[in-house]
C-alpha cells in the first residue's frame, strides 16, 4: 500500500518566495523523491498573503477554526509548482489575514525583539497548526497515513493532537518530527501574554510535563513538544543526531542539545531518534565545468552596481568591495580563489572572529593567503559581524566582502573557487558544502554535524576539530595552511581531491528510502 504523507512546514522552495533557510530546500526536494518511491505526498504551508492569488491557485473549500476565543474561517487552496511538478505531489496553502506578516507583506518570518522573542510568529504558526488540524479532521487532504512536521513552527499540531479530544481521529496517524535547527525553539509563555498558549487555546486542558521549557517551566517549548510527542524524531544528519544528545557548552564552542538533551537521550533510548542526512540536487546531464575567474569579475561588478543602485547613498561596504575587486582584476595571475557563501551569523562566522594570538582567526588566514590568492565572502546578517568584516576588508587587499546575497553570484563562487570555507560552530546538515563539492571545489569544514558526514578529510576536502573553541581556532588555521601548501606544491594531488569531491553524491533517492524505512514504517 502506498504511503499517504502530509508534510506541514513554514517553508517550501517549490513555491515562489517561500524559502528562507534549509527547511525550504528539504521540503522542496524530499516530496518528489518520496513520490518516486511510490508515496503520495502533500505539502501545506501558510498563504503569507500571496499564494492564494497565484494564477495556478485553485480554491478548495472553507474551514472553521476556533482560535484565541474566536471563530475564524480559513480557505484552502491547491497550488502548482512551475519548477517542481509531480503527479504524486500536491501543494497546498491555507489562507487567512493572520498569515500576512505585520513585519512586511509576503515575509515568511517576523523577527521580534528580544523582549518578546517569537511572539508574532508563534501566534501565526499556532493558528496555522489549528487550521491544518481542522482540514485533516474534515478530510480536506483526503486519507492520510503519516503526518510529517518540520521544526518548531509545525510542532503545535502534535500538542493539539495530544490534548484536544475533538482531534482524537488524528491519533490514528503516524507522526514524524524533523529537527532542522535545534537552536530555534519558538518558546512562549503558557499565559499572561497575548502571544501565549492559553490565549491561543483557552478551553484546552493540557499537561505541561512534556511540553514546558526545561529552563523556563512557565513557558511552552514547541521544539520540546515535537521531540516528546512524535512517534519518530528526525535529525538531518547522523552526527547531528548524536551531538544533540549532549549538553551545550557554548562558551567552549560546543553546541549540543540546547537544553533539550535529556529529552533527546530519552528519545534515543526509545529508538525514536533517527539521524538521516539531507540530500542534494544533481540535475540530469548537468556538467560542472569550472567557471574562469575572468568571468567572475564582471559578474561581481554587476551585482555591486545593482545593490548600490537600490540605495539612495553608496554604502561603504559596496565601495570597498569594488576597490578590492578592481585591485584583484588588475593582477595577471589571480592565483588561488578561496570562497565562502552563507548567512553572517554567530553559527557561521564565530570561529573567524575567535582570537588567536590576540588577533581574529580570519586575519591569520588572510596573512597565510597573502601573495597566493584572494578570499571572497558573500553574505549578510548580523550587523555586529558585518561591521567587523567591513573593517577587515578595509585593511586586507586580498579580502573581498560582498555584503548581500545573489543566487547567480553564489553559483559562480561555487563553480569558480579553489577552496570553500565553512567553519560553522555547528551545522545540522548544511547544503553549501554539497553545492561546492558538486562543482568540484573542495571544502574546508569544521568536523560537526552534516559537515562531518559529507567531507572526508584528505579525500574530498579538509576538516578540523577541537575540544574547545581555542583548539578549534588553532586547528582551523593549521588546516587552512596545509590546504594552501597542498594547492601550491602538489597540484596533482589537489586536483584529485577536487575530482573526487565532484563525483561524490548525496542523493535524495537514498534519503527517501531511509525515510520510508526509518520514519514512516
Domain of 462, CATH number, reads 3.40.50.2000
Residue 74 predicted with pLDDT over 90:
yes
- pLDDT classification of 168: cutoffs 50, 70, 90: very high
What pLDDT score does 287 carry? 63
The pLDDT score that the predictor gives to residue 332 is 83
Whether residue 285 is contained in a domain is answered as no
Distance (Å, rounded) from C-alpha 83 to C-alpha 89? 13
Q: Is residue 499 part of a domain?
A: yes
| Same domain as 323, residue 176 | no
Checking if the pLDDT of 302 tops 70, the result is: yes
Cα 99 to Cα 51, 110, 120, 167, 310, distances in angstroms: 11, 11, 10, 23, 28
Domain interval for residue 466: 293-505
**Structural domain contains residue 356:** yes
Q: Are 278 and 21 in contact (CB under 8 A)?
A: no
Domain membership of residue 287 (yes or no) is: no
Percent pLDDT > 90 in the chain is 88
To the nearest 10 degrees (0 to 180), the angle between helices 222-229 and 261-269 is: 10
Q: Note whether 472 and 514 are same-domain residues.
A: no
pLDDT band at 286 (very low <50, low <70, confident <90, very high): low
Q: Which three cell numbers stand for residue 71?
A: 471563530
Checking if the pLDDT of 136 tops 90, the result is yes
On the question of pLDDT at 209 being above 60, the answer is yes
| Secondary structure E strands in 404-484 | 419-422, 443-446, 461-464
Judgement on whether residues 271 and 208 belong to the same structural domain of the protein: yes
Angle between helix axes 151-163 and 222-229 (nearest 10 degrees) is 60
pLDDT computed for residue 449 by the predictor? 98
| Residue 1, pLDDT above cutoff 60 | no
Residue 9 has pLDDT above 70, yes or no: yes
Report pLDDT for 64. 98
Cα(475)–Cα(234) distance, integer angstroms: 31
pLDDT bucket at 309, cuts 50 / 70 / 90: confident
Angle at Cα 92 formed by Cα 86 and Cα 96, nearest 5°? Answer: 160
Other C-beta atoms closer than 10 Å to the C-beta of 249 total: 12
Query: Could you tell me if 256 and 297 lie in one domain?
Result: no
67 assigned to some structural domain: yes
- Say whether pLDDT at 283 is over 60: yes
Residue 111: the pLDDT is: 79
For residues 309 and 419, membership in a common domain is answered with yes
CB 164 within 8 A of CB 204: yes
3-state SS assignment for residue 324: helix
Q: Is 62 in the same domain as 134? A: yes
Domain membership flag for residue 155 = yes
Residue with cell 559562480: 412
What is the pLDDT averaged over residues 162-189?
A: 96
Half-sphere exposure of 511 (CA within 13 A, CB side): 26
Same domain, 170 and 107: yes
pLDDT digits (tens, 9 = 90+) for 353-379: 999 999 999 999 999 999 999 999 999
Contact by Cβ (8 Å): 455, 239: no
Q: How confident is the model at residue 312 (pLDDT cuts 50, 70, 90)?
A: confident
Q: pLDDT digit string (tens) for 390-431?
A: 999 999 999 999 999 898 999 999 999 999 999 999 999 999
Mean pLDDT taken over the chain: 95
3-class SS of residue 513: helix
Q: What is the mean pLDDT of residues 324-333?
A: 91
Check whether residue 351 and residue 230 sit in a common domain.
no
Mean per-residue pLDDT, 54-71: 96
Q: 471 and 372: one domain?
A: yes
Query: Do the domain assignments include residue 286?
Result: no
Please identify which residue in the block is written with the cell numbers 488540524.
133
> Is 438 part of any domain?
yes
At 294, is the pLDDT very low, low, confident or very high (cuts 50, 70, 90)? Answer: confident
Query: Same domain, yes or no, for 131 and 148?
Result: yes
Strand partners, 62: 75
> Looking at residue 4, what is its pLDDT?
97
pLDDT digits (tens, 9 = 90+) for 445-457: 999 999 999 999 9
Contact 470/357 with Cβ under 8 angstroms?
no
Segment 193-211 mean pLDDT? 97
CB 417 within 8 A of CB 481: no
Instruction: Determine phi and psi for 21, rounding to 5 degrees.
Output: -140, -150
Provide the pLDDT for residue 284: 79
CA distance 229 to 127: 19
- Asked if pLDDT for residue 258 goes beyond 80, the answer is yes
For range 55-60, the mean pLDDT: 94
How many domains in the chain?
2
Cα 204 from Cα 134, distance rounded (Å): 15
Average pLDDT value for residue range 329-338: 91
* 177 CB-near residues (< 8 Å, 6+ apart): 148, 149, 155, 158, 226, 227, 229, 230, 232, 233, 234
More confident call, 338 vs 332: 338
pLDDT for position 301? 93
SS (H, E, C) 133-191: HHHHHCCCCCCCCEEEEEHHHHHHHHHHHHHCHHHHHHHHCEEEEEECCCCCCCCEECC
Q: What residues form DSSP beta bridges with 374?
A: 337
pLDDT at 256 over 60: yes
CA distance 33 to 127: 30
Give the pLDDT band (50/70/90) at residue 511. Answer: very high
> Do 140 and 233 fall within a single domain?
yes
CA distance 409 to 414: 9
- Check residue 121 and give its pLDDT: 95
Say if residue 265 is in the same domain as residue 394. no
**Band of residue 245 on the pLDDT scale cut at 50, 70, 90:** very high
Greater confidence (111 vs 131) lies with: 131
**According to the model, what pLDDT value does residue 288 have?**
63
| CA distances, 412 to each of 44, 320, 377, 454 (Å) | 33, 21, 12, 22
Place 492 in a pLDDT band, splitting at 50, 70 and 90: very high
CB contact set of 384 (below 8 Å; sequence gap of 6+): none
Amino acid at each position: 500500500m502506498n504511503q499517504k504523507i502530509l508534510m506541514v512546514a513554514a517553508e517550501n522552495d517549490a513555491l515562489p518566495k517561500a524559502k528562507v533557510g534549509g527547511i525550504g530546500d528539504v521540503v522542496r526536494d524530499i516530496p518528489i523523491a518520496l513520490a518516486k518511491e511510490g508515496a503520495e505526498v502533500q505539502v501545506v504551508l501558510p498563504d503569507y498573503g500571496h499564494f492564494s492569488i497565484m494564477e495556478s491557485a485553485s480554491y478548495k473549500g472553507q474551514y472553521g477554526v476556533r482560535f484565541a476565543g474566536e471563530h475564524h474561517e480559513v480557505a484552502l487552496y491547491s497550488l502548482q509548482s512551475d519548477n517542481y511538478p509531480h503527479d504524486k505531489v500536491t501543494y497546498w496553502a491555507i489562507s487567512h489575514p493572520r498569515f500576512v506578516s505585520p513585519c512586511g507583506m509576503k515575509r515568511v518570518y517576523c523577527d521580534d525583539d528580544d523582549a518578546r522573542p517569537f511572539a508574532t510568529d508563534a501566534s501565526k504558526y499556532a493558528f496555522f497548526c489549528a487550521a491544518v488540524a481542522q482540514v485533516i479532521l474534515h478530510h480536506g487532504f483526503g486519507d492520510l497515513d503519516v503526518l510529517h512536521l518540520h521544526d518548531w513552527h509545525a510542532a503545535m499540531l502534535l500538542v493539539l493532537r495530544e490534548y484536544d479530544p475533538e482531534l482524537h481521529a488524528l491519533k490514528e496517524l503516524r507522526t514524524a518530527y524533523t529537527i532542522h535547527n535545534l537552536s530555534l525553539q519558538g518558546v512562549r509563555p503558557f499565559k499572561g501574554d497575548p502571544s501565549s498558549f492559553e490565549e491561543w487555546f483557552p478551553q484546552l486542558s493540557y499537561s505541561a510535563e512534556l511540553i514546558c521549557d526545561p529552563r523556563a517551566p512557565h513557558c511552552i517549548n514547541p521544539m520540546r513538544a515535537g521531540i516528546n510527542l512524535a512517534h519518530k524524531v528526525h535529525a538531518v544528519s547522523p552526527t547531528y543526531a548524536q551531538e544533540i544528545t549532549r549538553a551545550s557548552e557554548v562558551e567552549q564552542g560546543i553546541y549540543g542539545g540546547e537544553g533539550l538533551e535529556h529529552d533527546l537521550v530519552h528519545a534515543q533510548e526509545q529508538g525514536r531518534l533517527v539521524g538521516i542526512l539531507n540530500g542534494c540536487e544533481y540535475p540530469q546531464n548537468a556538467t560542472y565545468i569550472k567557471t574562469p575567474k575572468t568571468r567572475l569579475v564582471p559578474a561581481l561588478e554587476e551585482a555591486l552596481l545593482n545593490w548600490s543602485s537600490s540605495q539612495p547613498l553608496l554604502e561603504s561596504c559596496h565601495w570597498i568591495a569594488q576597490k578590492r575587486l578592481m585591485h584583484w582584476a588588475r593582477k595577471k595571475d589571480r592565483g588561488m580563489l578561496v570562497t565562502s557563501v552563507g548567512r553572517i551569523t554567530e553559527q557561521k562566522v564565530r570561529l573567524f572572529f575567535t582570537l588567536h594570538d590576540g588577533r581574529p582567526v580570519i586575519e591569520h588566514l588572510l596573512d597565510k593567503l597573502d601573495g597566493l590568492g584572494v578570499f571572497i565572502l558573500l553574505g549578510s546578517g548580523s550587523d555586529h559581524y558585518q561591521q567587523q568584516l567591513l573593517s577587515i576588508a578595509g585593511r586586507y587587499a586580498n579580502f573581498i566582502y560582498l555584503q548581500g546575497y545573489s543566487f547567480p553570484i553564489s553559483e559562480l563562487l561555487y563553480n569558480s573557487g579553489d577552496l570553500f570555507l565553512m567553519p560553522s560552530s555547528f551545522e545540522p546538515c548544511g547544503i553549501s558544502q554539497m553545492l561546492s563539492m558538486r562543482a568540484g571545489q573542495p571544502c574546508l569544514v569544521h568536523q560537526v554535524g552534516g559537515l562531518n558526514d559529507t567531507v572526508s578529510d584528505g579525500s574530498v576536502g579538509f576538516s578540523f576539530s577541537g575540544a574547545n573553541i581555542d583548539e578549534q581556532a588553532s586547528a582551523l588555521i593549521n588546516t587552512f595552511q596545509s590546504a594552501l601548501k597542498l594547492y601550491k606544491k602538489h597540484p596533482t594531488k589537489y586536483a584529485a581531491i577536487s575530482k573526487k569531491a565532484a563525483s561524490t553524491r548525496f542523493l535524495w533517492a537514498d534519503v527517501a528510502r531511509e525515510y520510508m524505512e526509518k520514519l514512516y514504517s
